[in-house]
Amino acid sequence: MQERVAARIRAGYVCITVPICIFNGHGEPQALLSSKRILLIVAGGIAAYKTLELIRRLRERGASVRCILTKGGAQFVTPLSLAALSGDRVYDDLFSLTDEAAMGHIELSRDADLLVVAPATADLMAKMAAGMADDLATTALLATDKPVLIAPAMNVRMWEHAATRANVETLASRGVLRVGPGAGDMACGEFGEGRMAEPAEILGAIESFFRGDVAAVSPSAGAQGKARPLAGRKALVTSGPTHEAIDPVRYIANRSSGKQGHAIARALAGLGAETVLVSGPTGLADPPGISVIHVESAREMLAACQKALPVDVAVCAAAVSDWRMAQEAGQKLKKNGGGPPALALTENPDILRTLGEAGNLRPGLLVGFAAETEKVVEHAKAKRKKKGADWILANDVSPATGTFGGDANVIHLVDDSGVEDWPRMSKEEVARRLAQRIAENISIKD
Ligand code: CTP
């Protein structure tokens, strides 16, 4: 411990007495990265040499770094130098039995707080976008349930190519975080965008991520966090279904996937909002940099939402179960030969309406959804009034539309001035468009 502290002092940090607390130039506790586990994937680009410096700086700040070196990466840096700097073995062969015995690729990717790909080559980004898994690096990236930060590095023409642009867009829409690339002279002799971010910038991006400032590393926020119209705002989003227990083994639920709500939370955070996502049970990974509160039932969802108030904007995208058991059975209901049991139900609290009636604590802007199978706009208008929402995003959830569980949505936005019909678009695009509209509305109110 003493040695580590001494090393930090040598590295220019000031040490305050017990309890030990080390600050950097911004007056932030170095604790930010201490005990954070980074899985660093080093791919094949000349910029790979910069990752050696990155590892050193991460370790100085108390993070542990484990490296995966691709075949291409090994052309630029040696496993020995990565191992020496990271103080850990280097993983470089998916099919090596010893590696699999030491740590399988699934564990490797899950045993980290953040995956960092530096340099992220055009080839590796294309494989990530396509979901390929033909070596250890791509397999770990596909298997992970942890946030991923890429630091692209390539020739300017490759960076500007339509294929790379599409891959960058795809990765951003999946919540992959990015730092750089910057512009400048390149090793290939050309000039332009494509230079990998410097180690200090990558370190800054990693620190931003752990500080919860996901917008700073979120490509959807525009050019590296420059467009952050919701910075300083608080947002609340509900997502997914709720499960209402019938007995200890059975529950009432619905087909909501949570994709739309999660995408909205990501988009709001991408525009700089401090976002709380209250999620029912879904199969989705927690979006990075967002405070996610997991709940099961409607009543738990309501309590979590009320705890998050006050907020500038709330978006209720959850498909909350309308009913629950009047009396949840303490033991598993058994077949007693007397026919199926009659399930007596009672109504759940309406979260959207409760937020609309929250008086001083009412969100500045309250947005709901209307899941309808007929008379979509008509019902949405009535719901807006009944629940006291400012906007209702109405969507047709008839089975033929594939909206529930699918990736696309057709929205009719109902507000006090009428109806706005949006074309069919992905749930990610719906989220981005809604977040943008929210940002504009909030800035007009100011
Ligand atoms: N909602 C809520 N709490 C509930 C039910 C719904 O917060 N108990 C919210 C949803 O998140 C959505 C809006 O209310 O934003 C409308 O939900 P929807 O399922 O379309 O309507 P219901 O209120 O359930 O009405 P109905 O089932 O009669 O269509």
Q: Do domains 16-211 and 234-329+341-445 have the same CATH topology?
A: yes
CA of 318 to the centre of ligand 1 (A): 8
Work out which ligand 1 atom sits closest to the CA atom of 367.
15
Own/partner contacts of 409-418, CB < 8 Å, gap of 24 or more, are 409/260, 412/376, 412/377, 412/380, 413/437, 414/370, 414/377, 414/380, 414/381, 414/384, 415/384, 415/390, 415/391, 416/390
Whether residue 199 is predicted with pLDDT greater than 80 in this model: the reply is yes
In 3D space, the residue among 368, 433, 367, 371 whose CA is nearest the CA of residue 403 turns out to be: 371
Burial of 353 (0-12, 13-18, 19+ CB in 10 A): middle
CATH class of 234-329+341-445: alpha beta
The per-residue pLDDT for 102 is: 58
Report d(CA 112, CA 146) in Å as an integer: 7
Q: Is 316 a catalytic residue?
A: no
Domain boundaries, the chain: 16-211, 234-329+341-445
How far apart (Å, rounded) are the C-alpha atoms in residues 12 and 24? 9
Which atom of ligand 1 lies closest to the CA of 348?
A: 8
Residue carrying structure tokens 């946030």: 147
Rg, Å, the chain Cα set? 25
Mutation choice for ligand 1 from 362, 369, 377, 434, CB with most ligand atoms inside 8 A = 369
Q: Is the four-CA dihedral 432, 438, 444, 446 of positive or negative sign?
A: negative
Q: Which letter does DSSP use for residue 241 in this model?
A: B
Q: How far apart are the first and last CA of the chain?
A: 50
Closest-CA residue, ligand 1 atom 12, reads 369
Q: What is the pLDDT of residue 219?
A: 67
pLDDT band at 36 (very low <50, low <70, confident <90, very high): very high
CA 391 – ligand 1 centroid, Å: 13
Give residue-wise pLDDT tens across range 124-163: 999 999 999 999 999 999 998 889 999 999 998 899 899 9
Q: What is the pLDDT of residues 78-113, one digit of tens each?
A: 999 999 999 999 998 765 656 555 567 778 888 899
Atom of ligand 1 nearest to the CA of 351: 7
Q: Which atom of ligand 1 is nearest to the CA of 368?
A: 15
With contact defined as beta carbons under 8 Å apart, do 325 and 342 qualify? no
Q: Which is nearest to 140 in space by CA: 151, 128, 152?
A: 128
**Ligand 1 centroid – CA 95 distance (Å):** 50
The C-alpha atoms of residue 242 and residue 318 are separated, in whole angstroms, by: 8
- State yes or no: pLDDT of 185 exceeds 70: no
242-301 tens-digit pLDDT:
999 999 999 999 989 999 999 999 889 888 899 999 999 999 888 877 899 999 999 999
Give 379-438 pLDDT, tens digit per residue.
999 999 999 999 999 998 888 887 777 788 899 999 999 999 998 888 888 998 999 899
Q: May I ask the CATH architecture of the domain 16-211?
A: 3-Layer(aba) Sandwich (3.40)
* Residue 442 token pair: 């909030």
Task: Give distance in angstroms: CA of 120 to centre of ligand 1.
Answer: 43
Catalytic residue (one of 15, 21, 188, 305): 188
Mean pLDDT computed over 188-195: 74
- DSSP three-state, residue 445: helix
Ligand 1 midpoint to CA 211 (Å): 34
**Pocket, ligand 1, Cβ cutoff 6 A:** 238, 298, 316, 318-320, 322, 348, 350-352, 368-371, 383, 387
Mutation choice for ligand 1 from 320, 385, 396, CB with most ligand atoms inside 8 A: 320
- Asked if 121 contacts 151 with a C-beta cutoff of 8 angstroms, the reply is no
**How far, in Å, CA of 365 to CA of 389, rounded?**
8
294 vs 156: CA distance, rounded Å: 43
pLDDT confidence tier of residue 14, bands split at 50, 70 and 90 = very low
What percent of the chain stands above pLDDT 70?
85
Residue 69: partners with Cβ closer than 8 Å, 6 or more residues away: 42, 77, 79, 82, 90, 91, 92
What average pLDDT does the structure give for the chain? Answer: 86
